[in-house]
Amino acid sequence: MVEKVDHIGIAVKDLEKALKFYEEMLGLKCEGTEVVEEQKVKVAFLPMGDTEVELLESTEPNGPIAKYIEKRGEGIQHIAYRVDNIEKAIEEMKEKGIRMIDEKPRYGAGGAKIAFAHPKDTYGVLIELCERD
């Protein structure tokens, strides 16, 4: 079902400061930013080989990323796994007893179709299924 790690999502308070660290200290290059209104988040993409680091900053004080940071602090928020058919992957997860936060795919950054599995069923890790054209 899973093809590879698509990206690792990292929640940050200040996207510009985080970008400076990743670019200047680690030598990664930002390939652009995007605001995903539906998720109340601004995202920066930093490719690394055939995967990428995705930095996430909340655009609203009550957004999911702001709430995550308030509870757990900055850091890894999710791991996204690439699938070739997200609808099929969602059904397979449900058939195997995994609760899905998203029962149907929704729009994600970079034009991806995404769906999240509930971390209580995935050993505390927020897993994102991700399909790209």
Q: What pLDDT score does 133 carry?
A: 87
Region 5-9: mean pLDDT is 97
Query: Token digits for 36?
Result: 């995903």
pLDDT in tens, 19-34: 999 999 999 999 999 9
Closest residue by Cα to residue 15 from 52, 49, 53, 50: 53
Q: What pTM was computed for the model? A: 0.93
Q: How far apart are CA 49 and CA 99, in angstroms?
A: 31
- Work out the mean pLDDT of the chain and round it to a whole number: 97
Q: What is the pLDDT of residue 77?
A: 98
Helices (H) and strands (E) in the chain, counts: 3, 8
Q: Please report the pLDDT score of residue 27 as a whole number.
A: 97
CA dihedral 15, 75, 26, 37 (to 10 degrees): -30
Sorted by where each begins, the domain ranges of the chain are 2-131
Please write the tens of the pLDDT for every residue from 42-80.
Answer: 999 999 999 999 999 999 999 999 999 999 999 999 999
pLDDT in tens, 106-116: 999 999 999 99
DSSP bridge partners of 115: 129
- Rg, the chain, Cα only: 14
- Architecture of 2-131 per CATH? Roll (3.10)
**Per-residue pLDDT at 68:** 97
